[in-house]
Chain A
Amino acid sequence: MSKDMNSQAGGAAKEGKIIGGYLVPNKPHALLAPEKSPGWQSLHDSYAKVREEIEASDADLLILFSTRWVSIIGHQIQADPTPEYWVVDEDFHELGTMHYKLRMNPEFAETYQQCATERGLHARTVAYHGFPIDVGSIAALQLLNPDNRIPACIVSCNVYSDRAETLVLGKAALDAVKKSGRKAIVVGVSALSNRMFTEFIDPASDHIHSLKDDEWNRKLLELLEAGRLEDVSQLSREFSRQANGDSKLKAIWWMAAAMGQNNDYRGTVFDYQAVWGTGAALVGLVPSPGAGGGLEYDEDDSNYFHGDRNVIATAAKADKTDKKS
């Protein structure tokens, strides 16, 4: 049992819960250069509204899934209690350096790692001086939680994981929240449509890359505003095909799984703007029983991840056996 779980011991441990979720952009423009573009300034200002909502809640943990932290070996969970360093966006380096000092909850990170492992996932915590926290997470935390009042946890986005594995990762987050006794807010750090202008533009003229991407983004936001998170999760593949969704919209899969796979939320679209052509939205989802419509599931559900190594290992063993014979 981790320290985080033990912290609830002494009396009857109170089960934690997820009290809300937010979808936020994955680029740093609203933090680093809001004045360069009306849209980026609007996002910057709208972050303040989200921040106020979070501050008004009694959340004591933020859990971020960021598409800007890519992993290969399973799922990595940040466990350095006070990561302090700097990063420069690899593409938008002209916007300046992001110096950061953040506050993580290493005990929760351990709990999350254990819960993920129990569901068959390969997961590990990381805590290394100089580790480059991704720009999406830094921007989100500095805009949503600038004084580090609420400790955070960041989990990576595995480049190979698809829907099933990402759902299991989301469910493991909920397991960990329940065990920890925390009142958590989940944050998906992700673009919507992810077609970027591939040249240098005047930031003041920034707009969504195409009308089609814009229309798809608005459709998704319409559903989210109605609180229909699970419906958006079910639509994510189609959206990604049509509008080049950021990382298949894994952040939505993860959020939906962590938040209970339903449509029962009060949704708020705080803002929707373009960042270098991509869809950048600030959306809030607060559980609101009975708010959502019916569910129509087209996708399978998964509770446990069985991995792929054994399949390959079997093939490799067979190959070795063949060679011997």
Chain B
Amino acid sequence: MRGCLAPHPPHLAYASNPPQNEPKSSGAGAWTALLEGYESLRKSLEDGDFDVIIVHTPHWKTRRGHHLLGVEHFEGLSVDPIFPNLFRFNFDLQVDVELAEAIHAEGEKQGLVMSMMRNPEFRVDYGTITSCYLAQPDFKLPIVAISSARSYFDYSNEVGEREMLALGEATRIAVEKTGRRALLLASCSLSHRHFTEEPADPEDPEFEYIYNANQAKWDRHILDLIESGRNRQILDEMPDFIEQSVSECKDGSFTWLLGAMEVPELPGKVHGYGTVIGTGNAVVEWRLDEQAVQA
């Protein structure tokens, strides 16, 4: 396995001007640091030889446990209900249903509420599409998409953390049992307070900065922990980080990723950090395969 923080602002897909996306950007450069970060990540992933991408997405919100896509193929038009001016993306992707079912089964063994999504007309969320596109623009690899259960919101951050660590473990066991070589994407930002206005050109760099100094300091602190391999400390501080920086980690993706990677004492490589309408986003890679070779 290899794990990544792969945030999903649709702005990054928009700014990349792929043929699949209807709106076209000005190229004014507001999100260059993140686009370069993703470019660096993609180069780093070239030696990965993966079978599948597993993405945990904050934008498929489920309150009855953890859901997984259970249909082999999806295609259609994804219009972001929040940023429809930026993201109207024609997607076509394959799903590794066998692996999804294996994660479902392992999750149930962990005591989690799990569900397979079998409706072929389901519209895959834009978080999944954006993170997968930015990590793998040609969509060649099949994916597994896991929803964001609302346990942090319905109960508490601590309950959410426990569930996501268990889901991460279930994911790891399923990957091992099925023999897959998996790329894991936690599709989330760090600090996550948005501006509620948008300039005439959404890509205008003048309007792009972190929402406030508190958010910036928390993001910097988490990035320091990532770069020094103190991932256990990140989990220890996660409930505070979530509350104090309005972090999107409250949707569970980052903790799921750390759980799936067995909370390694391994520095993450930060490929890029930048803001999108005030939120803090980092593109990070943990090369567990290298760690295994060194061991």
By a beta-carbon cutoff of 8 Å, the part of chain A in contact with chain B is 69-74, 76, 86-88, 90-91, 93-94, 96-97, 122, 124, 126, 128-132, 134, 158, 160-161, 195-200, 276, 307-309, 312, 315-316, 319
Contact = CB atoms under 8 A, between A and B. Distances in A.
A74 B121 contact: no
Query: Taking chain A's interface residues, is the majority helix, strand, or loop, or is none over half, making it mixed?
Result: loop
Interface of B: 60-65, 67, 76-79, 81-85, 88, 113, 115, 117-119, 121-123, 125, 147, 149-151, 154, 194-198, 209, 211-213, 277-278
A28 to B, nearest CB: 13
20 contacts: A69-B81, A73-B197, A88-B121, A88-B123, A93-B117, A93-B118, A97-B121, A129-B79, A131-B81, A195-B154, A199-B65, A200-B65, A200-B115, A309-B195, A309-B196, A309-B197, A312-B211, A312-B212, A315-B212, A319-B213
A159 B43 CA distance: 36
Contact of B121 (A86, A122, A129): A86
Contacts of B121: 86, 88, 97
Given A93-B119, A160-B196, A309-B195, A70 B154 contact: no
Contacts of B78: 130
A86 B120 CA distance: 12
Contacts of A70: 81-82
Contacts of A128: 79, 84, 88
Contacts of A312: 195, 211-212, 278
Contacts of B117: 93
A91 B197 contact: no
- Identify the 8 closest CB pairs spanning chains A and B, nearest first: A130-B77, A97-B121, A93-B119, A88-B122, A122-B197, A130-B79, A91-B62, A131-B79
Contact of A196 (B67, B154, B211): B154
Given A91-B61, A199-B65, A276-B64, 8 more contacts: A73-B196, A91-B63, A94-B119, A126-B85, A130-B78, A200-B113, A307-B196, A308-B195
Contact of A97 (B84, B85, B119): B119
A147 B82 CA distance: 28
Contacts of A309: 195-197
B196 A74 contact: yes
A134 B70 CA distance: 23
Contact of B64 (A122, A196, A316): A196
Contacts of B82: 70-73
